[in-house]
Amino acid sequence: MAVFQRFQRLQTVQLAARWLKPQTCNKAVHKTVTETADRRGHDAAPTRRPFSRVTTEDIGFFSELLPGRTVTDPDVLEACNVDWLKSVKGSSEVLLRPQTTEEVSRILRYCNERNLAISPQGGNTGLVGGSVPVFDEIILSTALMNKILAFDGLSGILTCQAGCVLENLSQYVEERDFVMPLDLGAKGSCHIGGNVSTNAGGLRLLRYGSLRGTVLGLKVVLADGRILDCLAKLRKDNTGYDMKQLFIGSEGTLGVITAVSILCPRKPKSVNVALLGCSSFQNLLETFQICRGMLGEILSAFEFLDASCMSLVEKHLKLINPITESPFYIVIETAGSNSAHDEEKLHSFLEKVMASSLVADGTVATDDAKIKALWSIRERITEALRHDGYTYKYDISLPLEKIYDLVTDMRAHLGNRARNIVGYGHVGDGNLHLNVTSPAKDAALLAAIEPYVYEWTQKWRGSVSAEHGLGLKKRNYIYYSKSPEAVRLMKDFKTMLDPKGILNPYKTLPDDGC
């Protein structure tokens, strides 16, 4: 058990602060962010479509429907108009905070009749400019739709309103011996409705699969106010087309999700996290293969970061790397029902990868605080990047063996034009987060990155948005991953469900239509 001792060096790991809550809908001022509408050049805003402008009569209607929950205070609106990355900014003058599906229905029916555009907003933690208005769209917040409606302790099926914060749901089901099937860095702020609308992936997808399998039911309000009740609480239902799938991942452009039922797995009795160092990406991939074979059913995450990511979290967040410096780091999590079995599997695996020199160094955590500390290195990379400067973010799916080649190629391609070029992500899902930072917004740098990065991805038949969605920022790159036929069909669906195009306009669909 020499390896076992070697992996017990956890005293050096510091407990990380929680993910910093995005400052959404508070009185923080974001005057420095240029309004999206005023943008020129490569990321110019689309043209405002001929929606009606909000009148005092409209405000009167909303105030009567939602007394005290129709917000026109410019300070509050300022915060809700800006995304978490402070990269886009709308100019909405009304924020609506409904509490029920019926209220959402009345709002949408009214807006559809009046031809008023709507920007649905959950926790506003999206990374592609999908959760804030582009112009003066009315912001429809799910924040007050935050009730848990039911939980079945036998089946693990949770039913709740769309505005429940993911972390609150996690806590609720964990107290009942279950876990949420998804987990992501933004859990302290993001809403389950937003997670479903964007088909959020995150850290547990490897183990529990995507929301397309775990979401069992939805209640959705359509553009004209019709309520579509597909809030089934059944694991199986093959009675006709699965309508709810259309609303998963359509980013609020086809309907507003107001309630969700979701299947929660049993809470594991034993969790272990290991941080390992690898000398090459090839070694990392071989480690992954061995890991899947030896850890099998208890493997719940296999994440990676490169040395540049580690430097950034050390530099900007003062986190400490508890192991020897390496070109690549792996975060492995196991979750199982028997701690002795899990530890034995993990140690056999570690012995094997250390003996074969695939892994150069590593450390294991089994208690909660140390587990959080190790996870924070991986989870807080986004935050560290924000401190590093203006960040160009790419969220790419590729065939597994190709995922790091894109980072290497991008470094060669950009040379010293960027401040940092880093790669991290979900190895198990073939999902790379490529990030490029620069001291400030840099049109020349952007022109060097795009469309190069998208062409590269297309060449390997990857996805230009693995889990972040398209939102405003990526909408026009859809053709790099989708056929014209598929996009045409998307537009047909949009036209059918939202003929006036009032729901989250300028998002997801490319500008060449809709």
Distance of alpha carbon 222 from alpha carbon 496, whole angstroms: 11
Q: Report, in Å, the least distance between residue 7 CB and its own copies.
A: 19
By beta-carbon proximity to its own copies, the closer residue of 75 and 242 is 242
Give min distance, CB of 404 to its own copies, in A.
Answer: 14
Nearest approach, Cβ of 484 to its own copies (angstroms)? 10
How many degrees, rounded to 5, is the angle at CA 246 between CA 240 and CA 249? 145
Residue number, 304 or 477, with CB nearest to its own copies: 477
Q: Are 385 and 437 in contact (CB under 8 A)?
A: yes
Contacting its own copies (CB under 8 A), which of 229, 325, 368, 511? 229
With binding defined as CB under 8 A, does residue 490 bind its own copies? yes
Q: Where are the beta strands (DSSP E) in 74-206?
A: 95-96, 118-121, 138-141, 148-152, 157-161
d(CA 365, CA 351): 16
Query: With binding defined as CB under 8 A, does residue 469 bind its own copies?
Result: yes
For 245, other C-beta atoms within 10 Å of its C-beta total: 15
Interaxial angle between packed helices 56-65 and 101-114, expressed in degrees from 0 to 180 and rounded to the nearest 10: 160
Give the residue, chosen from 70, 92, 159, 198, that forms a contact with its own copies under the rule CB under 8 A. Answer: 198
Binds its own copies (CB under 8 A): choice among 8, 55, 171, 483? 483
Say if CB 282 and CB 355 are below 8 A apart.
no
- Of 274 and 312, which CB lies nearer to its own copies in the complex structure? 274
Nearest-angstrom CA–CA distance, 10 and 38: 50
Find the binder of its own copies among 430, 442, 445, 473 (CB under 8 A).
430
In the bound state with its own copies, the residue whose beta carbon lies nearer, of 181 and 322, is 181
Query: Is the Cβ–Cβ distance between 136 and 478 less than 8 Å?
Result: no
CB of 144 to its own copies, least distance (A): 25
The answer to whether 168 touches 189, Cβ cutoff 8 Å, is no
Cα 305 to chain centroid, rounded:
17
- Pick 391 or 431: Cβ nearer its own copies: 431
Contact 204, 301 (CB under 8 A): yes
Residues 324-343 that bind its own copies (CB under 8 A): 335-338, 341
429 touches its own copies by CB under 8 A: yes
Query: In 244-328, which residue ranges form alpha helices assigned H by DSSP?
Result: 244-247, 281-295, 307-317
Binding mask 292-311 for its own copies (x = CB under 8 A): xxxxxxx-------------
If the CB atoms of residues 469 and 505 are measured against its own copies, the closer one turns out to be 469
Q: Which helix (H) or strand (E) holds 373?
A: helix 368-379
Nearer to its own copies, 250 or 258 (CB): 250
Q: Can you count the helices (H) and strands (E) in the chain?
A: 18, 16
Minimum distance from CB of 53 to its own copies (Å)? 29
Footprint of its own copies on 395-414 (CB under 8 A): 397-401
345 is a site residue for its own copies (CB under 8 A): yes
Given a contact cutoff of 8 angstroms between Cβ atoms, the answer to whether 122 and 191 are in contact is yes
Answer yes or no whether residue 98 interacts with its own copies by CB under 8 A: no
Smallest distance, its own copies to C-beta of residue 397, A: 4
Among 42, 147, 315, 461, binds its own copies (CB under 8 A): 461
- Using the rule CB under 8 A, which residue among 57, 73, 175, 485 binds its own copies? 485
CB of 497 to its own copies, least distance (A): 8
Residue window 150-189: x/- pattern of binding to its own copies, with contact defined by CB under 8 A: --x-xx----------------------------------
Q: Is position 462 an interface residue for its own copies (rule: CB under 8 A)?
A: yes
Taking CB under 8 A as the rule, which mask of x and - marks residues 208-227 in contact with its own copies? -xx-xxx-----------xx
In angstroms, give the least distance from the CB of 423 to its own copies.
16
In whole angstroms, the minimum distance from the beta carbon of 470 to its own copies comes to 6
- Number of C-alpha atoms within 13 angstroms, CB side, residue 247? 32
The verdict on 40 binding its own copies (CB under 8 A) reads no
The three-class DSSP label of residue 493 is helix
| Cβ neighbours for 364, distance < 8 A, ≥ 6 positions apart | 7, 8, 10, 272, 273, 274, 346, 350
Provide the Cα torsion 401, 479, 475, 452; round to 10°. 50
DSSP assignments along 65-97, one per residue: HSTT-EE--HHHHHHHHB-TTS--B-----EE-
Which pair of structure tokens corresponds to residue 511? 């500008």
- The answer to the question of residue 193 lying near its own copies (CB under 8 A) is no
| Min separation Cβ 142 and its own copies, Å | 20
The rounded distance, in Å, linking the Cα atoms of 101 and 145 is: 9
Task: Give min distance, CB of 351 to its own copies, in A.
Answer: 14
Site for its own copies in 234-253 (CB under 8 A): 234-243, 245-246, 248-250
Q: Residue 57 or 485: which CB sits closer to its own copies?
A: 485
> What burial letters (b/e) apply to 316-341, b meaning 16+ CB within 10 Å?
bbebebbbeebbbbbbbbbbbeeeee
Q: Does 266 bind its own copies (CB under 8 A)?
A: yes
Number of residues that bind its own copies (CB under 8 A): 90
Binding residue for its own copies, selected from 26, 489, 512, 513, defined by CB under 8 A = 489
